[in-house]
Amino acid sequence: MPDTLPTPCMICVAITGSLPTKANNPAVPITVTEQIESTQGAFEAGASIVHAHVRNDDETPSSDPERFARLKEGLEKHCPGMIIQFSTGGRSGAGRMRGGMLPLAPDMASLSVGSNNFPTRVYENPPDLVDWLASEMRSYNVRPEIEAFDLSHILQAAKMHADGRLATTPYVQFVMGVKNAMPADRDVFDFYIKTVKRLFGDETPWCAAGIGAHQLTVNEWAVAVGGHART
């Protein structure tokens, strides 16, 4: 038995995402009740973080704080100790609506600190909105997960951290495989890790998410070198 155990791999489960509907996959949990049930299954199977979006009754993306509140209450009851992360991503609302649930003080929230292209449009995260979301996270003591769709987003997070604009050392997630943004490229992945260690310290945890067909590839890369994984 080794003297020190390796850091366990944390699995972050993205139960719903912002877009897929029951028509795409009948198993996608849409209502808050379905989301709680689905998360509990993942929690019991070993997931330690839940990345959550909420939906309207017609399955469209929402950032309704009331739905987030019901979800948080159910998760705290059924998945005690699980880390709850809310999405502040741009597909669920416009402008400050994206952060309307932060006063609920989840453990974590996603934070995009730069802009980039998506398959058919620009993913817009204007500087003043980024700063406002970060300041709300500071106010409610919410740890940011930086969604690094590109390399500069990691350097921007380091700058915001140095400036005191982030509540805590951020948890950086590399997002790879989105069309027109960063592809799932192994050399870039290795440089991302090197950059996180250089800017935030060798022991800083990070995670990686591969989108669509790249999910397993990126999970395998991450788990093999000590990162955490996102479904």
**Footprint of a copy of itself (CB under 8 A):** 114-128, 130, 149-152, 155-156, 159, 180-183, 185, 187-188, 191, 194-195, 198
How far apart are CB 9 and a copy of itself at their closest, in Å? 26
Cβ atoms of 226 and 197 within 8 Å: the answer is: no
Residue 108 is a binding residue for Zn ion (CB under 5 A):
no
How far apart are CB 227 and Zn ion at their closest, in Å? 10
Q: Report the relative pairing of strands 116-117 and 122-123 from DSSP bridges.
A: antiparallel
Choices 26-34, 83-91, 162-170, 210-218 (CB under 5 A): range interacting with Zn ion: 83-91
How far apart are CB 127 and a copy of itself at their closest, in Å? 5
Residue 28 is a binding residue for Zn ion (CB under 5 A):
no
β-strand partners of 108: 85, 143
Residue 198, binding choice from Zn ion, a copy of itself, none, Cβ under 5 to 8 Å by partner class: a copy of itself
Report how far apart the first and last C-alpha atoms of the chain are (Å, whole number).
30
Structural tokens at position 228? 């955490």
Helix, strand and coil in the chain, % to nearest 5: 40, 20, 45
Give the residue among 186, 131, 201 at the shortest CA–CA distance from 163: 131
Q: Please state, in angstroms and as integers, the Cα–Cα distance from residue 204 to each residue in 31, 170, 177, 214, following that order.
A: 35, 9, 23, 24
Residue 157 is a binding residue for Zn ion (CB under 5 A):
no
Residue 207, binding choice from Zn ion, a copy of itself, none, Cβ under 5 to 8 Å by partner class: Zn ion
Residue 126, binding choice from Zn ion, a copy of itself, none, Cβ under 5 to 8 Å by partner class: a copy of itself
Cβ atoms of 28 and 21 within 8 Å: the answer is: yes
Nearer to a copy of itself, 6 or 164 (CB): 164
User: Contact positions toward Zn ion, by CB under 5 A?
Assistant: 12, 87, 173, 207, 230
